[in-house]
Structure 1
Amino acid sequence: MIRISDAAQAHFAKLLANQEEGTQIRVFVINPGTPNAECGVSYCPPDAVEDTDTALKFEQLTAYVDELSAPYLEDAEIDFVTDQLGSQLTLKAPNAKMPPKSLTMPR
């Protein structure tokens, strides 16, 4: 579903070290399937995990995805890139603005 590079995992692990114990990350899409879709990453404390969330376990962290966002995050990639201008987190989700496959397939 989502690929998180080693560099991004290390970046998140560093940030999570300063949070409440057990806090992980949440990856989500606001206005999914529309031209206004926006992806985001936030902290996900243990008490914010829902029964319907998908837990994606990585080497250094767990990423939670809510069931509404999940189909829109297929093939998403999160990376942490450093260049001469500095560092930045990138999130590419090619399906965020597309209707999910289950809605576009003919019956």
Structure 2
Amino acid sequence: MIRISDSAKNYFRQLLAQQDIEGLGIRMKAVNAGTPKADCVLEYAVAGDLAGDEARIECDGFAVHIDAASAHWLADAEVDYQVNATGGQLTIRAPHIKGSVPGADAPLADRVQYVLESEINPQIAAHGGRVRLVEVDAEGVVLLQFGGGCHGCGMADVTLKQGIEKTLRGHFPEITAVRDATDHASGSNPYFRNGSGASAVG
């Protein structure tokens, strides 16, 4: 659960009022999540800017949208605004945002999740995409779901096979296959609409 103080809500309300855009809200997301460079970013967002899978926090007159791929990393975050002599200071404390490297004895799914968040998602974010772990089955098959610009992208299979699978199997030899569970036909804003382009993961 993310906690936003009343003073922070008032601060956001003032900022949004200055923009004077109908339906404008705040989007909150983690960048470089699970790494020492992790940070939390706030930005303005209207409905057309959203992927549709964000968590929504109603704040009496506006909403804060939590990026779906960031929700895990922003759990228990606290957003506050403190008035001081120079005006005020917005602070965000997200205790889980930098994560911790799972040990060798951790479940394979946890170790795969860490690599997805620390290595793979930061790369495909350049194409407006992300990938989510669905499951790792008993045979070592990793099932993934693409989102954002990778959802419906004509190069998603290239990214999966030449980028993501290669990276994951390089880390974890026990992985037997990496498969895509995404219904790409329903993608509304793919980065590549046909089969021309390059893998989003180098």
TM-score bin, normalised by smaller chain: 0.7 to 0.9
Matches within 5 A, 1:22-101: 22-99=23-100
Higher relative contact order (CA 8 A, sep 6+): 1
Identity %: 37
1:103 aligns with 2:119: no
Match of 1:14 in 2: 14
TM-score (norm 1): 0.86
Equivalenced residue count is 103
- SS state at 1:17 partner: helix
Question: For structure 2, which runs of at least 5 residues remain unmatched after alignment?
Answer: 101-108, 112-202
- Judging by fraction of residues, say which structure has more strand: 1
- SS state at 1:9 partner: helix
- SS state at 2:69 partner: coil
Question: For structure 1, which runs of at least 5 residues remain unmatched after alignment?
Answer: none
- SS state at 1:51 partner: coil
Rg comparison, structure with higher value: 2
1:61 positional shift: 2.4
1:85 positional shift: 4.0
Q: Which deviates more from structure 2 when the two are superposed, residues 5-14 or residues 81-90?
A: 81-90
Q: Aligned letter for 1:65?
A: I
Distance in 2 (CA, whole Å) between partners of 1:80 and 1:88 is: 6
Distance in 1 (CA, whole Å) between partners of 2:86 and 2:53 is: 40
1:84 positional shift: 3.0
1:26-79 per-position Cα deviation (integer Å, ceiling 9, x unaligned): 111001111110111111122112121111112342110111100001000111
Q: Aligned letter for 2:110?
A: L
- Judging by fraction of residues, say which structure has more helix: 2
Contact 1:10 1:60 in 2 (8 A): no
Contact 1:54 1:67 in 2 (8 A): yes
TM-score (norm 2): 0.47
Match of 2:155 in 1: none
Match of 1:2 in 2: 2
Distance in 2 (CA, whole Å) between partners of 1:94 and 1:52 is: 23
